[in-house]
């Protein structure tokens, strides 16, 4: 065996068994509070981070009851990334109870938040006067990426150049995504860019891309809509000129069909607001989520 190869084998073996060498090269253990943020952290950290999520895909991070397994996930983590703006209403309480000794990075810090919708219908822990869904404007996701790179560099200076390079690449992808969404909406006449939804999570999206999101009157997650509520919604749709209804929380599908029949509006599919879909689903990454939502909204407003 050539001596060079023997040396390589020896080095590989030492790398595997030497505890010092292994720890120095192990990826940084980090935590993201929810799946959308976890995807952005993964994009910036690449193979230098091991990302765990406090709240996984298809799960509502607003209304979480912190569990012992969530506390275990943060216990050994170097950095915890959260959205802030009251999105994780449970976070302060959770961190007091968990043995987290790393750095907590709030990625929305430095953004100017929007005011919350007047009757935010989906169970934030407590009343907040700002809208937490900042990531629905892609430019804010770019801001998140910069905060993530800062947080990873502070915790992992040895690999900072890699974090910065991946952040730059992610920023370029997100800039292209933002331009793509803006261009798609620019092609729709402004008076058709009206969407009625039960899920008040699209204020930032609407402001960024020139779409009016109206809250579905009378329909809440709390109860089955009454005939009076249905009549109110039918009147609202007709008066607004909206052709796009996204009524995820309205319950009875026969009712939704009736509203569509009486108004001529199109019932859109699922919008992903607060969580990614599971892997293999239509919104498994931040970028595919934004593209999926945009396509679903465009199909509904452009239908004739
Ligand atoms: Zn929400």
**How many distinct structural domains can be found in the chain?**
2
Answer whether residue 116 shows pLDDT above 60: yes
Q: 39 and 98: one domain?
A: yes
Q: Check whether residue 89 and residue 230 sit in a common domain.
A: no
Strands 194-197 and 212-215: parallel
Q: What percent of the chain is modeled with pLDDT above 70?
A: 85
- Beta-carbon contacts of 271 under 8 Å, excluding residues fewer than 6 positions away, are 197, 199, 201, 202, 246, 248, 293, 296, 297
Q: CATH no. for residue 114?
A: 3.40.50.1980
| Residue range 272-290: mean pLDDT, rounded | 95
**From ligand 1's centre to the CA of 50, what distance in Å?**
26
Q: How many Å lie between the centroid of ligand 1 and the Cα of residue 122?
A: 7
**How would residue 12 be classed by pLDDT, with cut points 50, 70 and 90?**
low
- Ligand 1 centroid to residue 123 C-alpha, Å: 8
Boundary residue ending a domain (130, 154, 180): 180
Of the three residues 155, 180, 205, the one that is the final residue of a domain is 180
Considering only residues 143 and 21, tell me which one the structure prediction assigns the higher pLDDT.
143
C-beta atoms surrounding 208 within 10 Å: 18
Q: For residue 168, report the distance from its CA to the centre of ligand 1, in Å.
A: 28
Distance 80 CA to ligand 1 centre (A): 20
User: Do residues 20 and 117 both lie within one domain?
Assistant: yes
- pLDDT value at 124 more than 60: no
Q: Which is nearest to 275 in space by CA: 181, 221, 199, 185?
A: 199
Looking at the predicted structure, is the pLDDT value of residue 238 above 60? yes
- Rounded distance from Cα 199 to ligand 1 centre (Å): 7
Grade residue 125 by pLDDT with cuts at 50, 70 and 90.
very low
Dist CA 118 CA 127 (whole Å): 10
Gap from CA of 288 to ligand 1 centroid (Å)? 18
- Are 47 and 83 contained in the same domain? yes
121 CA from centroid of ligand 1 (Å): 9
pLDDT digit string, tens, across residues 22-35: 466 899 999 999 99
Check whether residue 204 and residue 277 sit in a common domain.
yes
pLDDT-derived band at 37 (thresholds 50, 70, 90) equals very high
Same domain, 196 and 221: yes
What range defines the domain where residue 193 resides?
Answer: 188-302
User: What's the pLDDT at 15?
Assistant: 46
142/204 Cα distance (integer angstroms): 14
Do 193 and 252 fall within a single domain?
yes
If asked whether residues 19 and 142 sit together in one domain, one would say yes
Which of 154, 180, 206 is where one domain is finished? 180
73 shares a domain with 140: yes
Ligand 1 centre to CA of 136 (Å) is 10
| CA 270 to centroid of ligand 1, rounded, Å | 14
Residues, beta carbon < 5 Å, ion ligand 1: 201, 274
CA of 165 to the centre of ligand 1 (A): 31
Give the pLDDT confidence score for residue 2 in this predicted structure.
55
Phi–psi pair at 287, nearest 5 degrees: -65, -45
Same domain, 25 and 71: yes
> Do 88 and 7 fall within a single domain?
yes
Ligand 1 centroid to Cα of residue 29, in Å, is: 27
* Ligand 1: centre distance to CA 10 (Å): 54
Instruction: Measure 296 CA to ligand 1 centroid, in angstroms.
Output: 18
CA of 62 to the centre of ligand 1 (A): 7
227 and 246 in a common domain: yes
Ligand 1 centre and the CA of 148: distance in Å?
22
pLDDT digit string, tens, across residues 249-267: 556 677 777 888 888 888 8
């Amino acid at each position: 065996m050539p001596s060079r190869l023997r040396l390589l084998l020896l080095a590989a073996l030492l790398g595997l068994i030497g505890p010092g060498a292994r720890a120095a090269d192990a990826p940084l253990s980090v935590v993201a509070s929810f799946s959308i943020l976890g995807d952005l952290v993964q994009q910036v950290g690449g193979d230098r981070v091991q990302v765990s999520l406090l709240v996984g895909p298809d799960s509502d991070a607003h209304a979480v009851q912190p569990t012992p397994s969530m506390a275990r996930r943060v216990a050994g983590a170097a950095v915890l990334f959260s959205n802030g703006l009251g999105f994780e209403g449970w976070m302060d309480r959770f961190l007091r109870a968990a043995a987290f000794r790393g750095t907590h990075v709030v990625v929305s810090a430095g953004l100017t938040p929007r005011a919350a919708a007047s009757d935010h219908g989906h169970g934030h822990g407590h009343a907040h006067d700002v809208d937490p869904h900042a990531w629905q404007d892609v430019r804010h996701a770019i801001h998140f990426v910069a905060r993530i790179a800062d947080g990873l560099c502070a915790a992992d200076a040895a690999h900072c150049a890699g974090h910065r390079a991946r952040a730059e690449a992610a920023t370029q992808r997100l800039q292209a995504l933002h331009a793509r969404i803006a261009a798609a909406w620019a092609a729709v006449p402004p008076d058709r860019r009206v969407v009625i939804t039960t899920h008040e999570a699209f204020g930032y999206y609407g402001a960024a891309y020139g779409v009016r999101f109206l809250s579905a009157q009378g329909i809440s997650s709390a109860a089955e809509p009454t005939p009076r509520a249905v009549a109110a919604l039918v009147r609202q749709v007709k008066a607004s000129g909206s052709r796009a209804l996204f009524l995820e929380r309205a319950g009875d599908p026969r009712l939704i069909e009736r509203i569509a029949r009486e108004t001529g509006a199109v019932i859109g599919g699922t919008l992903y607001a607060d969580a990614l879909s599971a892997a293999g689903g239509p919104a498994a990454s931040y970028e595919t989520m934004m593209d999926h939502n945009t396509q679903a909204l465009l199909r509904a407003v452009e239908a004739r």
